[in-house]
């Protein structure tokens, strides 16, 4: 069994960013000792340099290996360049050799725009990485900030990738196992064919919809079976299953 933690939308720099919640969560994650932590974007609120410096300080407290991608908020104010300077590549992979899992991180952000796009160049990177994982018979996880399929309770839809159709086709044709997104701060799980699409809430901000809590997801992978558990800041948990 492999355990992975998925957290998203830290929004460091936002007036209602809650450092206490983030530090508490980092503490819990370190105790849980997952094989990896996936952080799916909006790590800052405005893409400011000082926000990224702060993010780095928090991320350095995490003991497990992490893969971090940018969100639309991180691409504001040339944050995309600062991301590369302070955090690392905007799209990259993390291979968990022992559990034979490949995590592919994509950058769906566009400078100073809120909508998302993968684009042709990055799609080629994705195709190459999927092929490599298939050749090695690996479990494939993709993380991308904007979700690929609309999710409920998010109001008028204008936030899926502009090239969602092409990306979705590529993922389904290749039986990608799991797709992890953030962006709308609504934890949700869909399943389409053999692919599970899971979104995380905001882990440490009060940018919340309705009566919900800051949260993160724990993912348990057992062979090809996946269980996703939502962990709320108030301590309550819920296993998320696709409808």
Residues lying near Fe ion in the complex (CB under 5 A) are found at 9, 42, 71-72, 183
Residue 236: CB minimum distance to Fe ion, A: 22
> Closer CB to Fe ion, residue 163 or residue 220?
163
Residue 157: CB minimum distance to Fe ion, A: 14
Of 80, 132, 82, nearest in space to 104 by CA:
132
CA geometry: angle at 40 spanning 238 and 212, to 5°? 35
> Closer CB to Fe ion, residue 17 or residue 139?
17
Residues 6+ positions from 235 with CB-CB distance below 8 Å: none
Tokens of 154: 């998010």
Is 115 buried (19+), middle (13-18) or exposed (0-12) by CB count in 10 A? middle
| CB closest to Fe ion, residue no | 42
> Closer CB to Fe ion, residue 102 or residue 147?
147
> Closer CB to Fe ion, residue 35 or residue 80?
80
Residue 137: CB minimum distance to Fe ion, A: 33
Question: 79-86 vs 49-59: helix axis angle to the nearest 10?
Answer: 30
Residue 202: CB minimum distance to Fe ion, A: 6
């Amino acid at each position: 069994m492999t355990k992975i933690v998925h957290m998203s939308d830290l929004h460091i720099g936002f007036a209602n960013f809650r450092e206490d919640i983030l530090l508490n969560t980092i503490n819990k994650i370190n105790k849980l000792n997952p094989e990896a932590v996936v952080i799916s974007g909006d790590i800052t609120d405005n893409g400011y340099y000082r926000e990224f410096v702060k993010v780095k300080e928090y991320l350095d407290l995490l003991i497990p290996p992490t893969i971090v991608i940018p969100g639309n908020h991180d691409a504001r104010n040339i944050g995309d360049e600062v991301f590369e300077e302070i955090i690392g590549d905007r799209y990259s992979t993390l291979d968990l050799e022992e559990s034979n899992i490949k995590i592919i991180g994509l950058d769906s952000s566009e400078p100073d725009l809120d909508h998302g796009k993968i684009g042709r160049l990055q799609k080629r990177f994705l195709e190459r990485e999927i092929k490599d994982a298939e050749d090695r018979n690996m479990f494939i996880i993709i993380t991308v900030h904007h979700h690929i399929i609309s999710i409920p309770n998010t109001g008028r839809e204008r936030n899926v990738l502009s090239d969602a159709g092409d990306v979705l086709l590529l993922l389904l044709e290749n039986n990608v196992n799991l797709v992890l997104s953030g962006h709308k701060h609504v934890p949700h799980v869909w399943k389409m064919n053999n692919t599970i699409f899971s979104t995380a809430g905001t882990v440490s901000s009060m940018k919340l919809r309705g009566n919900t809590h800051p949260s993160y997801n724990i993912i348990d992978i057992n062979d090809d079976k996946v269980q996703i558990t939502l962990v709320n800041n108030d301590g309550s948990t819920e296993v998320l299953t696709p409808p």
